[in-house]
């Protein structure tokens, strides 16, 4: 809050430097005046001595004048250096505050006990995360604003029109939002902010589209809003005049009886008595009773129910053939309709008899997120954001078990499809017959009137080259009305594909799940309109502190480039630059050192490399197993199993096929050697691989995440960008510039200059395409293109052709490429030979073959 003016100090403020200076000046002036008086008062006939004395006095006067002049100059100099110093201080903070001056915002007398401050300029909210009521304030802020950054002590949020739209949609009232903000704020909520909140919540969230008894109603508790809408020609013409609806459009057509809503909605998995444990400011804990009541009514789990006061709900029916026109028109009029599904009153769509198993207990944050969805007894459409490994699948399954209608689950890959199916079976009592899978390999339908289908976005969205079976399956999906559509990893789906899915499938409620609501293309806003607002976003650090996800130590390890590599790096203009910083021998060494260090500690290590060329080179050089897009399914499974169960295999190398969907709770350490430029999402997803570490609740347990970065290369820039999302979640990246003991590591790779040059030569001879990051895995039917396809472990793919030349390399100190190849035997091949247990039948056949070969070789 230090403003520019505050930094300079107000004109009348107490300034010790200035005061002492003024005091000194006053004394000087007094002294000088007296001397002048002596000189003037000397009589003309004063004897020479006196004259001399006079001269002396004059000399003294002159000296003093000179001294005074020098002092004044010195003072002026001091003054200017002080000003310069102040200006310098200004400069230090001014990049934060620019020209903003907030000194006119008066702190409340008890500001110290209030945890937040709101910028009147742009709606930024700064929260003191160390305040005793920070946790409660956080719940409130998450409901009304976007979390921007949440490190340990100071959090930053921002009010946006989306966040306010979301706030209103979960049932918060405009004046309550302002009131609670005011109570939490150190300064009175600035008028500009109150006005912004009022203006933004005026129309948003006021109108709902509700499907009841298979009739569509536009509903609102603000009759004037409905009047505005009805003045519009398109909407007016879409209205259905039923006998019971009177002209005042009162909600006599249906009764959303509040009492049963309140009492009867039970989200499965929440044990009796646990339900309200997360309520804010429970009485007597913090604040007065009125505060507690206010908080509970605004942000408490059940608060949303008060939103739907039947007496005030007004509605009119619209023709279901004109739904899309009405939705579109409402958007244009800036009254976007929130979609709510009154599933308990849907008597037309068959019920699905599923429930969570009695042994399934959902966690408090999972419950909180679901309460935002089902707060008023209906299902609100929207997005729930939970960290990787925090159990989004169970949140989705619980929502499906609450709605109990046919449900379509869409994921990004066929591996995820199988995982969702398996999780449904694990957590709920759904039977085999009730759940079907629609992928390239399998096109099942469920038996009976209702059921669950799990598929991928592209299976549903791609219209080209459909097989006959796929077409029939699509007819099955599009011809029915789904109670619920679950959209996994919503942030990665291209907007066009999403639109196609959302428009071809008729579903009453939509729930999007994601860990990282960030996209480098800034298309996130589209999701708000296609699915609904963000309903809940959990705090990563909180979940780590409570042991739901692992604590992770993050570090960026700076690896200097060898002079030869750096020279080539500077010279190279093509994509090969990237290959040079990935293959930097010092990075190899750092990787070797860290693997050794962590293996000795008993960790299980995953080394990630997006670049397949580097992945193979590292893995082979260090004698480790690796998986990339070209690794066959059987080999992948074998390697993963060995990693999980064998004490011999403690490190594996993974390309981006392992970024997501891979569940390896044994992994406790990640090392990243090459990554997809500045992708914040990939960084977070990779970190997600160790957040679910099995050992996370062991005393003092820490998982480790290292990013190896070649110093003074573009990689440093990308690395900083990649980390931003995690830093905003509160992770601190330490920079390691020196690995103690690295040089003493026995059998350190690429120790000699010759070996390094040899490595360089192989990199220079590699094809430029080796620098590619995106060609690891090809998309198959049912998978999204690009990064998402890599999740599919089932897709055997072709690797880009590798071109290695074996010509003379005298230009590069005579290094021989062949010797490099020689040293790099694949651990995968060794494993395949040594480990793979062969069936007796094959063993016998192999033996016979070997004998035959031997025989054939005999002269
Ligand atoms: N309430 C719960 N009780 C016990 N285990 C749980 C619960 N919720 C989640 N888990 C477990 O936590 C792990 C992570 O869950 P899940 O795979 O759904 O995470 P996710 O959020 O989808 O992660 P990602 O974004 O990385 O895919 C799983 O092993 C799951 O079984």
Flag whether the pTM goes above 0.90: no
Output the pLDDT for position 284.
Answer: 31
| CB distance 658 to ligand 1 below 6 Å | no
| CB distance 486 to ligand 1 below 6 Å | no
Distance CA 653, CA 651 (A): 7
Distance CA 702, CA 693 (A): 9
Determine which helix (DSSP H) or strand (DSSP E) holds 605, and give its type and residue range. Answer: strand 605-609
Output the pLDDT for position 297.
Answer: 44
Burial class (CB in 10 A: 0-12, 13-18, 19+), 759: buried
CB 729, CB 540: distance < 8 Å:
yes
Residue 428, pLDDT above cutoff 90:
yes
Least confident of 439-453, 521-535, 703-717, 755-769: 521-535
User: Which residue, by CA, sits nearest to atom 2 of ligand 1?
Assistant: 362
Least confident of 61-65, 81-85, 733-737: 61-65
Pinpoint the alpha helices (H) of 286-344: 289-299, 323-332
What is the CATH code for 350-549? 3.40.50.300
Which range of 443-452, 619-628, 710-719 scores highest in mean pLDDT? It is 619-628
| CB distance 329 to ligand 1 below 6 Å | no
Please tell me if the domain spanning 350-549 has the same topology as the one spanning 552-797.
yes
| CB distance 391 to ligand 1 below 6 Å | yes
Compute, in angstroms, the gap from residue 348 CA to the centroid of ligand 1.
34
Burial 430-450 (b: 16+ CB within 10 A, else e): beeebbbbbbbebbbebeeeb
Compute, in angstroms, the gap from residue 686 CA to the centroid of ligand 1.
15
Output the pLDDT for position 490.
Answer: 83
Residue 67, pLDDT above cutoff 50:
yes
| CB distance 675 to ligand 1 below 6 Å | no
Q: Calculate the alpha carbon distances from 789 to 332, 451, 658, 682 in Å.
A: 36, 27, 11, 14
Distance CA 504, CA 517 (A): 24
Compute, in angstroms, the gap from residue 548 CA to the centroid of ligand 1.
9
Compute, in angstroms, the gap from residue 439 CA to the centroid of ligand 1.
23
Residue 249, pLDDT above cutoff 80:
no
Q: Calculate the alpha carbon distances from 809 to 569, 571, 757 in Å.
A: 18, 18, 10
Compute, in angstroms, the gap from residue 278 CA to the centroid of ligand 1.
20
DSSP 247-263: TT-BGGG----HHHHHH
Compute, in angstroms, the gap from residue 551 CA to the centroid of ligand 1.
16
Residue 533: partners with Cβ closer than 8 Å, 6 or more residues away: 162, 165, 166, 169, 170, 338, 382, 383
CB 696, CB 721: distance < 8 Å:
no
Compute, in angstroms, the gap from residue 602 CA to the centroid of ligand 1.
24
- Ligand 1 atom with the smallest distance to the CA of 366 is 1
What is the CATH code for 552-797? 3.40.50.300
Distance CA 378, CA 357 (A): 22
| CB distance 390 to ligand 1 below 6 Å | yes
Residue 23, pLDDT above cutoff 60:
no
Compute, in angstroms, the gap from residue 410 CA to the centroid of ligand 1.
17
Q: What ipTM goes with this model?
A: 0.98
Question: Within 10 A of 41 (CB to CB), how many other CB atoms are there?
Answer: 7
Q: Calculate the alpha carbon distances from 410 to 111, 428, 502, 508 in Å.
A: 48, 18, 11, 15
User: Which residue, by CA, sits nearest to atom 11 of ligand 1?
Assistant: 391
Output the pLDDT for position 589.
Answer: 93
User: Which residue, by CA, sits nearest to atom 1 of ligand 1?
Assistant: 362
User: Which residue, by CA, sits nearest to atom 14 of ligand 1?
Assistant: 389
Compute, in angstroms, the gap from residue 433 CA to the centroid of ligand 1.
24
CB 457, CB 785: distance < 8 Å:
no
Q: Are strands 625-627 and 669-674 parallel, antiparallel or unpaired?
A: unpaired
Distance CA 666, CA 220 (A): 51
Distance CA 660, CA 679 (A): 14
User: Which residue, by CA, sits nearest to atom 24 of ligand 1?
Assistant: 388
Q: Are strands 435-438 and 452-456 parallel, antiparallel or unpaired?
A: parallel
Q: Calculate the alpha carbon distances from 564 to 751, 770, 817 in Å.
A: 14, 20, 16
What's the pLDDT tens digit per position in 752-773?
889 999 899 888 887 766 666 5
Q: Which of 391, 606, 684 to mutate to test the pocket of ligand 1 (most atoms within 8 A of CB)?
A: 391
Q: Calculate the alpha carbon distances from 685 to 519, 635, 763 in Å.
A: 13, 24, 29
CB 566, CB 712: distance < 8 Å:
yes
DSSP 757-778: HHHHHHHHHS-GGGG-SS-SS-
Nearest Cα residue to 805 out of 820, 794, 792: 820
User: Which residue, by CA, sits nearest to atom 10 of ligand 1?
Assistant: 391
Nearest Cα residue to 743 out of 620, 590, 596: 590
Pinpoint the alpha helices (H) of 495-632: 495-504, 524-530, 540-545, 563-571, 576-582, 585-601, 612-622
What's the pLDDT tens digit per position in 816-857?
222 233 334 566 666 555 544 444 444 455 456 556 656 655
Residue 802, pLDDT above cutoff 90:
no
The helix/strand/coil state of 820 is helix
- Ligand 1 atom with the smallest distance to the CA of 548 is 12
Residue 650: partners with Cβ closer than 8 Å, 6 or more residues away: 599, 603, 604, 605, 643
- Ligand 1 atom with the smallest distance to the CA of 361 is 1
Compute, in angstroms, the gap from residue 692 CA to the centroid of ligand 1.
8
Residue 615, pLDDT above cutoff 70:
yes
Output the pLDDT for position 419.
Answer: 86
For the packed helices 714-728 and 680-691, what is the interaxial angle rounded to 10 degrees?
A: 60
Q: Which of 365, 393, 395, 417 to mutate to test the pocket of ligand 1 (most atoms within 8 A of CB)?
A: 393
Beta bridge partners of 511: 382, 486
Q: Phi and psi for 215 in degrees, rounded to 5?
A: -120, 140
DSSP 29-53: HHHHHHHHHHHHHS-TT--HHHHHH
What's the pLDDT tens digit per position in 479-513?
888 999 999 988 777 667 777 787 788 888 999 99
Q: Which of 357, 369, 394, 418 to mutate to test the pocket of ligand 1 (most atoms within 8 A of CB)?
A: 394
In the chain, pLDDT over 70 holds for what percent of residues? Answer: 66
Q: Which two tokens stand for residue 9?
A: 């100090």
Nearest Cα residue to 364 out of 542, 521, 493, 534: 542
CB 718, CB 675: distance < 8 Å:
yes
Beta bridge partners of 808: none
Q: Which of 388, 389, 644, 660 to mutate to test the pocket of ligand 1 (most atoms within 8 A of CB)?
A: 389
Residue 783, pLDDT above cutoff 80:
no
Pinpoint the alpha helices (H) of 657-746: 680-691, 714-728
Output the pLDDT for position 390.
Answer: 87
CB 485, CB 407: distance < 8 Å:
yes
Mean pLDDT of the chain: 72
Output the pLDDT for position 94.
Answer: 63
Output the pLDDT for position 680.
Answer: 78
Q: Calculate the alpha carbon distances from 123 to 165, 188, 193 in Å.
A: 15, 13, 6
Compute, in angstroms, the gap from residue 700 CA to the centroid of ligand 1.
22
How far apart, in Å, do the first and last CA atoms of the chain sit?
Answer: 92
Compute, in angstroms, the gap from residue 738 CA to the centroid of ligand 1.
36
| CB distance 389 to ligand 1 below 6 Å | yes
User: Which residue, by CA, sits nearest to atom 5 of ligand 1?
Assistant: 391
Output the pLDDT for position 431.
Answer: 92
Question: Within 10 A of 95 (CB to CB), how many other CB atoms are there?
Answer: 7
Q: Which two tokens stand for residue 186?
A: 């150190």
Residue 22, pLDDT above cutoff 60:
no
Residue scoring higher pLDDT (244 or 315) = 315
| CB distance 407 to ligand 1 below 6 Å | no
Output the pLDDT for position 307.
Answer: 41
Least confident of 24-38, 603-617, 717-731: 24-38
| CB distance 499 to ligand 1 below 6 Å | no
The predicted model gives 364-391 an average pLDDT of: 88
Output the pLDDT for position 744.
Answer: 87
Compute, in angstroms, the gap from residue 763 CA to the centroid of ligand 1.
41
The predicted model gives 102-131 an average pLDDT of: 86
- Ligand 1 atom with the smallest distance to the CA of 427 is 31
Calculated CA dihedral for residues 618, 622, 625, 627, nearest 10 degrees: -10
- Ligand 1 atom with the smallest distance to the CA of 665 is 29
Q: Which residue has the tokens 């590292």?
A: 618
| Domains of the chain by residue range | 2-55, 112-200, 350-549, 552-797
Which range of 48-62, 542-556, 661-675 scores highest in mean pLDDT? It is 542-556
For the packed helices 289-299 and 174-184, what is the interaxial angle rounded to 10 degrees?
A: 130
- Ligand 1 atom with the smallest distance to the CA of 269 is 1
Compute, in angstroms, the gap from residue 635 CA to the centroid of ligand 1.
26
The predicted model gives 780-796 an average pLDDT of: 31
């Amino acid at each position: 809050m230090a403003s520019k003016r505050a930094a300079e100090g107000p004109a009348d403020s107490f300034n010790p430097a200035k005061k002492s200076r003024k005091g000194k000046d006053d004394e000087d002036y007094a002294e000088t005046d007296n001397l002048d008086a002596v000189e003037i008062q000397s009589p003309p006939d004063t004897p020479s001595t006196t004259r001399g004395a006079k001269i002396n006095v004059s000399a003294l006067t002159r000296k003093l004048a000179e001294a005074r002049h020098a002092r004044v100059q010195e003072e002026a100099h001091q003054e200017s250096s002080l000003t310069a110093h102040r200006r310098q201080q200004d400069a230090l903070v001014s990049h934060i505050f620019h020209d903003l001056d907030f000194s006119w915002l008066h702190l409340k007398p008890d500001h110290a006990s209030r945890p937040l401050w709101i910028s009147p300029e742009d709606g930024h909210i700064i929260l003191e995360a160390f305040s005793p009521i920070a946790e409660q304030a956080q719940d409130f802020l998450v409901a009304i604003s976007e979390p921007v950054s949440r490190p340990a002590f100071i959090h930053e949020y921002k009010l946006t029109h989306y966040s306010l739209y979301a706030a209103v949609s979960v049932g918060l009232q405009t004046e309550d939002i302002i009131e609670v903000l005011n109570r939490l704020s150190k300064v009175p909520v600035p008028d500009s902010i109150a006005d912004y909140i009022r203006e933004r919540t005026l129309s948003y969230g006021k109108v709902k589209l509700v499907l009841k008894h298979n009739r569509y109603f536009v509903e609102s508790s603000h009759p004037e809003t409905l009047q505005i809408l009805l003045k519009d020609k398109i909407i007016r013409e879409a209205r259905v005049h039923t006998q019971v609806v009177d002209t005042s459009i009162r909600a006599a057509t249906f009764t959303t009886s509040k009492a049963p809503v309140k009492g009867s909605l039970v989200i499965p998995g929440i044990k009796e008595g646990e339900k309200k444990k997360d309520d804010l400011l429970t009485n007597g804990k913090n604040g007065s009773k009125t505060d507690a009541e206010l908080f509970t009514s605004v942000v408490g789990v059940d608060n949303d129910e008060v939103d739907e006061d039947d007496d005030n709900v007004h509605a009119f029916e619209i023709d279901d053939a004109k739904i899309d026109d009405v939705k579109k028109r409402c958007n244009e009029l800036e009254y976007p309709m929130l979609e709510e599904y009154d599933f308990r009153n849907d008597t037309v769509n068959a019920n699905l008899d599923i429930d969570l198993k009695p042994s399934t207990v959902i966690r408090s944050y999972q419950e909180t997120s679901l309460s935002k969805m089902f707060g008023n007894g209906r299902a609100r459409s929207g997005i729930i954001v939970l960290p990787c490994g925090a159990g989004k699948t169970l949140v989705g399954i619980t929502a499906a078990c609450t709605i109990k209608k046919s449900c379509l689950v869409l994921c990004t890959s066929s591996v995820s499809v199988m995982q969702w199916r398996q999780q449904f079976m694990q957590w709920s009592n759904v039977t085999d017959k009730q759940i079907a899978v629609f992928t390239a390999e399998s096109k099942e339908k469920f038996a009976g009137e209702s059921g669950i289908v799990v598929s991928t976005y592209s299976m549903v969205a791609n219209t080209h080259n459909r097989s006959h079976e796929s077409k029939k399956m699509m007819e099955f999906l599009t011809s029915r009305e789904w109670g619920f559509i679950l959209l996994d990893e919503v942030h990665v789906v291209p907007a066009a594909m999403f639109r196609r899915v959302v428009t071809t499938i008729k579903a009453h409620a939509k729930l999007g799940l994601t860990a990282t609501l960030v996209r480098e293309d800034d298309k996130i806003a589209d999701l708000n309109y296609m699915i609904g607002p963000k309903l809940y976003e959990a705090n990563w650090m909180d979940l780590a502190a409570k042991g739901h996800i692992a604590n992770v130590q993050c570090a960026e390890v700076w690896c200097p480039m060898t002079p030869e590599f750096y020279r080539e790096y500077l010279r190279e203009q093509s994509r090969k630059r990237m290959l040079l910083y990935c293959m930097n021998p010092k990075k190899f060494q750092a990787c070797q050192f860290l693997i050794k260090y962590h293996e000795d500690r008993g960790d299980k290590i995953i080394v990630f490399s997006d670049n397949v060329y580097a992945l193979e080179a590292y893995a082979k050089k260090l004698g480790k197993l690796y998986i990339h897009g070209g690794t066959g399914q059987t080999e992948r499974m074998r390697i993963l199993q060995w990693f999980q169960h064998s004490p011999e295999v403690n490190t594996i190398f993974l390309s981006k096929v392992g970024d997501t969907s891979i569940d390896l709770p044994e992994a406790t350490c990640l090392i990243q050697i090459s990554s997809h430029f500045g992708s914040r999402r990939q960084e977070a997803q990779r970190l997600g691989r160790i957040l679910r570490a099995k050992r996370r609740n062991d005393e003092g347990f820490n998982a480790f995440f290292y990013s190896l970065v070649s110093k003074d290369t573009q990689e440093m820039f990308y690395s900083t960008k990649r980390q931003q999302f995690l830093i905003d979640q509160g992770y601190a990246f330490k920079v390691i510039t020196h690995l103690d003991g690295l040089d003493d590591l026995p059998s350190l790779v690429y120790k000699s200059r010759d070996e390094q040059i040899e490595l360089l030569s192989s990199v220079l001879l590699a094809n430029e395409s080796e620098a590619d990051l995106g060609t690891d895995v090809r998309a198959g039917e049912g998978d999204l293109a690009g990064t998402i396809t890599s999740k599919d472990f089932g897709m055997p793919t072709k690797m880009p052709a590798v071109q290695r030349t074996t010509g003379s390399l005298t230009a590069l100190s005579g290094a021989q490429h062949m010797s490099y190849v020689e040293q790099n035997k694949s651990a995968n091949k060794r494993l395949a030979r040594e480990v793979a247990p062969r069936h007796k039948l094959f063993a016998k056949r192999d033996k016979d073959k070997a004998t035959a070969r031997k025989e054939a070789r005999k002269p």
